[in-house]
Chain A
Amino acid sequence: MITGQGITRTFPGRGSMLRREPVRALRGVDFTIPDHGAVSFIGESGCGKTTLGRILCGFEEFDGGDLIIDGQSMKALSAKDRAPYFRRIQMIHQDPYSALNPTRTIRQILSDPLELRARQTGAATGWVSDRRAELLGLVGLDPDYVLPRYPHMLSGGMRQRVVIARALTVDPQVLVADEAVSMIDVSLRLGILQLLQDLRSKLGVSLLFITHDVATARYLGADGELYVIYRGSVVEQGGTDTIIQHPAHPYTQCLLSAIPVLRGIEQPGKDRLIPLAPLDERSQPPGCLFAPRCPQAAEDCTAAVPELALSGDAVQGSVTHKHACLHPQTRSVVATATA
């Protein structure tokens, strides 16, 4: 189990010395990734979801708060001592075209981490090639076809499967998929999502899915937990299906409204909203960060920052459903299938 406690990350600003403002990528995020769980971080570009994923994998430092992996605080450890903990968390990159070394065959790509693993665990000779074939079988690739080939000889979907197999070489407990299907052909996306879902049930790995598309998150873990992130803060949190059916925060409602509605087979939700003002990362409003773009902002929204709290009676939700909005309202924003 992995827990984040009030994680903050601020990047130094760029540009002219006079106008330079630090960028607050994460403003105190709490999250839990349970064993065998499926967790999704949702938000638009620049909301901090990718930074959070990178911190989780140990690619990025955090300035404040703490990350606890299997009961061990990462803050208390030196960078060297953290390594074995971060090994348990592996990232599947967005772009399978640049995640694989073009000058090495798939055999080489998979053998190096496996040989290292064999030395660590003292496995017998022959383990590497058996394990290699086993992993490729798990991700649905034919070892005889794939192993002698270079990445450019494979399709995007196959490459993404190789990336997943490589992540599995070190026996991770958590797979972090950052927009893992956005670069893959539409007809093959569902196959990758189903593969990740299979790995969760077969190997018991937890999945962390980072995306801007709620529909994809739904396919990866409808029974999982969804965190909606806006400008470095969690604004809504709850069961994936609960949030899709009863979104409380206007930002979540905007994200759900933004999903295209298929003519002829779906009808838009009657309260669909879309904010036309683009995100201004430089603005630092005193109260709710979403207030300047919020279609429902009231006067008191600019007074104080709303805290993430359990949803009350105003919105029907499950026991774990939390949101950070002073004036939550029920709206039907999600499209419904035409009968």
Chain B
Amino acid sequence: MAARTEPETQTGTDSGIAAVRVRDLTVAFRTPEGDLPAVSHVNLDLFRGQITGLVGESGSGKSTLALSLLNAIPSPGQVIEGSVELGNGGNVLALRGRALRKVRGTDIGYVFQASQNSLNPLKRVGKQLLDVGRSHGERDSRELIRRARDLLDDMGLDATRVLSSYQHELSGGMRQRVGIVFALLLNANVLILDEPTTALDMLSQAQVLEIVRKVHATRHLTTLIISHDISVIGDLCDRMAVMYAGRVVEEGPTASVLATPRHPYTRALLTAMPRITGDIAEARALPGRPPDLSSIPREGCVFQPRCALATPGCLETEPPDTIEDDHRFACFVTAAETR
């Protein structure tokens, strides 16, 4: 039992330096009907020592964006243009073979979506952890086990029990934490979590968020967390990016994005979310439905069909980013608002 620790709003001296820089990234899926872009001209920085959140609905391209950080986009997806640069130099998208394998795991730790279901049911957790180490050329098994025990302790798990368990003997929340152990076993300094709390109930979710907060701080990580749930992002992250139809439509410090959302989609998401505070009568559902790859508008603003503020101009040109301090958004209409 522990009282909840408050997130530090001030980050360390490292803040302001990007550990990962995504530049003008476009990823498309090749289909008989032509290239369908899942991620379109995305720019995103993951600042060292900060937790960045990526929020979007299904089909918004958030998982594709995250997978491209590992250069692991499944076929028929292809990077059309852009780069993913790591802080220590090097474009991940240009790497192949051994060099790429080294980045995956040793530089970037990735906790996959539904990772609670991705353990091998026939092997004990300890054995699988050793496999991960060996496949990356770690010879010292004792050191690996020691690191795994440290990580499991950090997560409030009984290391001896977990290492000798099969996956069916662990609860969903415990397996999610084991997923984080796998991601950090090789001392990665960038941690990416794809929908880490989706199948969990509220209590397990709060526990996993608390653990992410803790390992992020004690291991001086740079963390990216992906979720469809804006409240998870709003609770955990220093900065957040909102994705819609393959674009980052708004990005900035979390408190600023939530307190003064500038993009109509962010505003609509916030009013459409069931919350424990505030007036129930003010909640509004969003009209329409999220687009899939084939129904994304080809011209104009991608959110325009569902937007309450849309003007005729929104049909013609795609809005460029408007930057105010370190908060950016892509909307013609709200850019003209006086703050």
B207 within 8 A of A: yes
Cβ-closest chain A residue relative to B209? A260
Tell me which residues across on chain B come within 8 A of A189, comparing CB atoms.
Answer: 272-274, 285
Chain A neighbourhood of B1, CB < 8 A: 273, 275-277, 293, 295
CB-nearest residue of chain A relative to B2? A276
**Which of chain B's residues have a CB closer than 8 A to the CB of A335?**
276-277
Q: B277 to chain A: which residues have CB within 8 Å?
A: 266, 334-337
In the complex the two chains form, is A190's CB within 8 Å of B202's CB?
Answer: no
Quick one: which of A44, A156, A263 contacts B204, CB cutoff 8 A? A44
Is A265 touching B285 in the complex (CB atoms < 8 A)?
no
B286 / chain A contacts, CB cutoff of 8 Å: 187-188, 190-191
A263 contacts B234, CB within 8 Å? yes
Contacts A262-B258, A264-B258, A278-B207; is A190 near B173 (CB within 8 Å)? no
A24 within 8 A of B: no
Q: Chain A: how many interface residues by the 8 Å CB criterion? A: 53
- A212-B202 CB under 8 A given contacts A260-B232, A274-B2, A278-B174: yes
Q: What residues of chain B lie closer than 8 Å to A156, measured between beta carbons?
A: 58
Chain B residues, CB < 8 A from A218: 274, 276, 280
Binding site for A on B (CB under 8 A): 1-4, 6-7, 57-58, 156, 171-174, 200-207, 209-210, 228-232, 234-237, 254-259, 268-269, 272-278, 280, 283-286, 289-290
> A268 an interface residue at 8 Å Cβ cutoff?
yes
**B268 nearest CB across to chain A (Å):** 7
Contact A187 B57 (CB under 8 A): yes
B272 closest partner in A (C-beta): A190
Docked Cα-Cα span, A219 to B276, in Å, equals: 9
A193 to B275, CA, bound (A): 13
CB interface residues, A 214-229, toward B, < 8 Å: 214-216, 218-219, 222
Contact B274 A213 (CB under 8 A): yes
User: Which of A45, A185, A222, A278 touches B228 (beta carbons < 8 Å)?
Assistant: A185
Binds B, one of A29-37, A53-61, A251-259: A251-259
Query: Within A96-111, which residues are at the interface with B (CB < 8 Å)?
Result: none
User: Complex Cα distance A255/B280, Å?
Assistant: 20
Contacts of A213 in B (CB 8 A): 202, 274
CA distance A261 to B7 in the complex (A): 11
Question: Which B residues are in CB contact (< 8 Å) with A338?
Answer: 259
A279: interface (CB < 8 Å): yes
Q: Determine if B285 and A215 form an interchain contact, defined as CB atoms under 8 angstroms apart.
A: no
**A219-B280, A219-B283, A276-B207 given as contacts; is B258 within 8 A of A259 (CB)?**
no
Given A219-B283, A263-B258, decide whether A258 and B234 contact each other with a Cβ distance below 8 A. no
Query: What are 16 A-B pairs at a CB distance below 8 A?
Result: A185-B58, A185-B290, A187-B269, A188-B290, A190-B274, A190-B285, A194-B285, A219-B274, A222-B280, A265-B258, A274-B2, A274-B203, A274-B206, A277-B156, A278-B207, A337-B277
Report the separation of the CA atoms of residues A273 and B5 in the bound assembly, to the nearest whole angstrom. 10
Q: Is the C-beta of A208 less than 8 angstroms from some C-beta in chain B?
A: no
A279 CA to B171 CA, complexed, in Å: 9
- Bitwise, A296-339 to B at CB < 8 A (1) or not (0) is 00000000000000000000000000000000000000111110
Q: A157 in the interface, Cβ–Cβ < 8 Å?
A: yes
Q: Identify A215's interface contact among B173, B259, B276, CB under 8 A.
A: B276
Return the contact of A263 from the options B3, B255, B274, B280 (Cβ within 8 A).
B255
Whether A262 and B172, one on each chain, are in contact in the complex, defined by CB atoms closer than 8 angstroms, is no
Contact of A334 among B254, B268, B276 (CB under 8 A): B276
A337 with B278, Cβ < 8 A, contacts A258-B205, A276-B1 known: yes
Let me know if B259 and A265 touch, CB within 8 A.
yes
Task: Check A186 for interface membership: any CB of B closer than 8 A.
Answer: yes
**Inside 8 A of A257's CB, which chain B residues have their CB?**
4, 206
A256 to B171, CA, bound (A): 22
Q: In the complex the two chains form, what is the Cα distance from A261 to B255 in whole Å?
A: 11
Query: When chains A and B are docked, how far (Å) is the Cα of A133 from the Cα of B7?
Result: 52
Closest Cβ of chain A: how far from B135's Cβ, in Å?
Answer: 30
Q: Is residue A155 within 8 Å, beta carbon to beta carbon, of the partner chain? A: yes
User: A88 at the A/B interface (Cβ < 8 Å)?
Assistant: no
The 7 closest A-B pairs by CB, nearest first: A264-B255, A260-B235, A258-B206, A191-B285, A262-B234, A212-B201, A264-B259
* Chain B contacts for A190, CB-based, 8 A: 272-274, 283-286
Closest-CB distance, A161 to chain B (whole angstroms) = 12
A288 CB-CB contact with B under 8 Å = no
| Chain A residues in 8 Å Cβ range of B283 | 190, 219
Q: B202 and A186: CB pair below 8 A?
A: no
Q: How far does the Cβ of A321 sit from chain B's closest Cβ, in whole Å?
A: 18
- CB-CB nearest in chain A for B240: A263
Closest to A47 in B: B201
Residues of A within 8 A of B201 (CB): 44-45, 212
Kindly report which residue of chain A lies nearest to residue B236, judged by CB atoms. Answer: A260
Known: A187-B57, A260-B236, A279-B171. 20 other contacts (CB 8 A): A44-B203, A45-B204, A187-B285, A188-B285, A188-B290, A189-B273, A215-B274, A215-B276, A219-B274, A257-B206, A258-B202, A259-B231, A262-B235, A262-B275, A263-B235, A263-B254, A264-B255, A276-B2, A278-B171, A338-B259
Beyond A264-B256, A276-B2, is A256–B289 a contact (Cβ under 8 Å)? no
A319 CB → nearest B CB, Å: 23
B234 to chain A, nearest CB (A): 4
Contact residues of A between 238 and 296, Cβ < 8 Å to B: 244, 254-266, 268, 272-279, 293, 295
In the complex, chain B residues whose CB is within 8 Å of the CB of A186 = 57, 228-230, 269, 272-273
Could you tell me the distance between the alpha carbons of A214 and B277 in the complex, rounded to whole angstroms?
A: 11
Among the listed A157, A185, A268, A276, which residue makes an inter-chain contact with B156, where contact means beta carbons less than 8 Å apart?
A276
Kindly list chain A residues whose C-beta atoms are within 8 Å of the C-beta of B256.
264
Residue from A212, A254, A259, A263 having most chain B Cβ neighbours under 10 A: A263
Minimum CB–CB distance from A229 to chain B (whole Å) comes to 12
Chain B residues lying within 8 Å of A293, measured Cβ to Cβ, are 1
Q: Which B residue sits closest to A45, measured CB to CB?
A: B201
B273 contact set on A, CB distance < 8 A: 186, 189-190
How far, in whole Å, are A213 and B278 apart by their CA atoms in the complex? 16
CA distance A263 to B258 in the complex (A): 7
